[in-house]
Amino acid sequence: MHNIENNKIELKESISLVIGNMIGAGIFMLPVSLSVYGSISIMGWTISATMAFILSIIFKRLSSKYPGESGPFHYAEKSFGEFIGFFIVWGYWISILLVNASLAIVVTSYSTIFIENLNKSIYSILFSVTVIILIASINLSGIKKVGKFQYVTTFLKIIPLLLAVIISFFVFDINNFFPINISQETNIEAITVTTALTFFAFLGIESATIPTDKIKNPKETVPKATIIGTVLTIFIYISSSIAIFGILHPNEISISNAPFADAIGIILGDYGRNLIAIFAIISALGSLNGWTLLQIEIPKNLAKKKLFSKLFMELNSRGVPHKGLFISTILVSLLIGINYSKSLSNIFTYLILTSTFCTLVLYFFISLSEILISFYNNEKNKSVYINSLMTGVPAFMFCIWMVVGVGIESIISGTLLLSLSLPIYIYQKKYVKSR
């Protein structure tokens, strides 16, 4: 997601890339979605963080075993064949479209602090689509501008989260945590749903394994950066989530369009509230910028393999697949528009759960690959099998559990979106690849 062109990067830069890629804007809106369950959502954070750490180990191990391969898609293809590889890439691309729609919603939601009319559905939808078009235009300018914009916004997103933690020390109210489950669901059901919601914040774990040709001493730097970056991200997520519940009651969070801004505004007033809202907007725009880059690169790579329309690999004078950018921008705008009747928080919740479901398909097969690749390679060292089982099996079981947590609406929506891969694959294989 970052543009590192000339010099190879060292450990500190690698760690910053890991943190920058993992921390998106979802954290700024998640308290609203989690507030209906209460402080039991902290348990959801803990579980999802643990599994994120396990998955980061899997991706780190697979990238070390197959250096130079273009990500987890090839790992699955090696174990399950071309169609599953395509199916996974398709699902991952769909999840990115959903993520980008949700990021635009975050920008709009925090912008309501400055533009009151954005609380009305028609204006919020139009504003969100405008945000999508704005970021698309930056990507249309070429990779250099994308990289610069991404680099500037990377660390700014952390400031409001850490500031909320600091402020919570002065106004922390333990009573906000009780009862721990304020929903009508059982504790198990509440933990399942909140784990699914919080796991959305960790989507992008796969991008933490940086290409080895861009870093110094990759055999040592990549594992260290992956682990340190993941641990720091987990700390920021959980500590800021505890802080927000300590500052605001769940009922107050549930009616807020910008919970971190409202929480910090209690101490710093409107000035602090507005400042944090600006940081949140910058963070969302930065994440949207980086994911938009992936949004056009994935179908371009599929098109090169003749598994997708050649329109997606046609480049403009700046080397940008402009037709693919145009098509995907329209798709993201439509995803926002079809949820016109929902409130900002409800649109956000639906989008992230559906995106999580689609990405879980990727993690499901990658977890199996972690186990199968060791067997396929006839590893003689028993510790290799044991390590693969200790990470692959829990990750596999977690993916199944999370499918339950995302809810029937997102499962149906995600399944329908994923099923579109079958006719596309058949058409490309039968009518395009054969030519």
- pLDDT of 163 strictly over 70: yes
Q: What is the pLDDT of residue 43?
A: 95
pLDDT in tens, 220-268: 777 777 788 888 889 999 999 999 999 999 999 988 877 888 888 888 8
Q: Does residue 290 lie in a domain region?
A: yes
Domain count, the chain: 1
CB 34 within 8 A of CB 197: yes
The first and second tokens of residue 418, run together, are 């994923």
Q: What's the CA gap between 207 and 56, in Å, rounded?
A: 9
195 part of a folded domain: yes
Residue 84 lies in a domain: yes
- What mean pLDDT is predicted for residues 327-350? 79
Query: pLDDT value at position 265?
Result: 86
Buried b (16+ CB within 10 A) or exposed e, 56-67: bbbbbbbbeeee
With cut-offs at 50, 70 and 90, classify the pLDDT of residue 207: low
Q: What is the pLDDT of residue 201?
A: 82
In a domain, 4, yes or no: no
Encode pLDDT of 302-320 as tens digits. 888 888 888 888 888 877 8
CB proximity list for 270: less than 8 A, separation 6 or greater: none
Would residue 111 count as lying in a domain?
A: yes
3-state secondary structure 341-371: CCCHHHHHHHHHHHHHHHHHHHHHHHHHHHH
**Residue-level pLDDT at 302:** 84
Q: What is the pLDDT of residue 333?
A: 92
For residues 400 and 26, the model is more confident at 400
Report CA torsion sign: 384, 226, 100, 402. Answer: positive
Over residues 144-165, mean pLDDT: 75
Instruction: Give residue for tokens 């290799």.
Output: 384
Identify the pLDDT of residue 261.
83
Q: What is the pLDDT of residues 131-151, one digit of tens each?
A: 999 999 988 887 666 666 766
Domain ranges, residue 163: 11-428
- Residue 378: the pLDDT is 59
CATH of the domain at 265: 1.20.1740.10
- Across the range 27-31, mean pLDDT stands at 80
222 domain-assigned = yes
Average pLDDT for the chain: 82
Residues whose CB is less than 8 angstroms from the CB of residue 416 and which lie 6 or more positions away in sequence, other chains included: none
Q: Are 254 and 41 in contact (CB under 8 A)?
A: no
Query: Is there a domain that residue 435 lies in?
Result: no
Residue 373 placed within a domain = yes
> Would the pLDDT of 213 be above 70?
no
**Which residues lie across from 215 on neighbouring strands?**
9
CA distance 408 to 108: 27
pLDDT in tens, 38-68: 999 999 999 999 999 999 888 878 777 776 5
